[in-house]
Amino acid sequence: MKTDNDPIAAGINGAKKYVASKTLVNPGWNSVVIKEDIVEEIKRLKELEGPELQVHGSGNLIQILLKHDLIDEFWLKIFPVTLGSGKRLFAEGTVPAAFRLLECKISPSGVIVASFRRAGEVTTGSFS
């Protein structure tokens, strides 16, 4: 990622990254590979002091985290298109959980950008 006068790129480049992979050995880019027991390692990392843990672009890792109730917050971008079949975000095995809307914006092209924080157990009964 280019860093010339770009504080966002500099922050991403300098941040420690954890990569869940059974085959990757040395990914570089200030990264640590998690090869075994991903669930236990994520639980351990969540208990440490430091910046928040984020997942970018890994549907497989999200599925593992959902099955083990390890997601505290979602930042979702919902695009107004249909592309046919694909991988489900909330697939079989997802632990039921309630989330509270923190923020929601809509781009000029109709993309919904919303963030949700974990809000305990699921309650049913109304839209209010």
Does pLDDT of 48 surpass 70? yes
| Residue spans per domain, the chain | 56-128
CA distance 98 to 90: 13
User: For 17, phi and psi rounded to 5 degrees?
Assistant: -120, 140
Domain 56-128 has CATH 3.40.430.10: yes
Average pLDDT for residues 106-126, to the nearest whole number? 92
Average pLDDT for residues 46-60, to the nearest whole number? 86
Does pLDDT of 110 surpass 90? yes
Would you place residue 106 in the very low, low, confident or very high pLDDT band (cuts 50, 70, 90)? very high
CA distance 52 to 15: 11
Nearest to 66, CA basis, from 88, 95, 39: 95
**Inter-residue contact 66 to 90 (CB < 8 Å):** yes
CA distance 42 to 58: 15
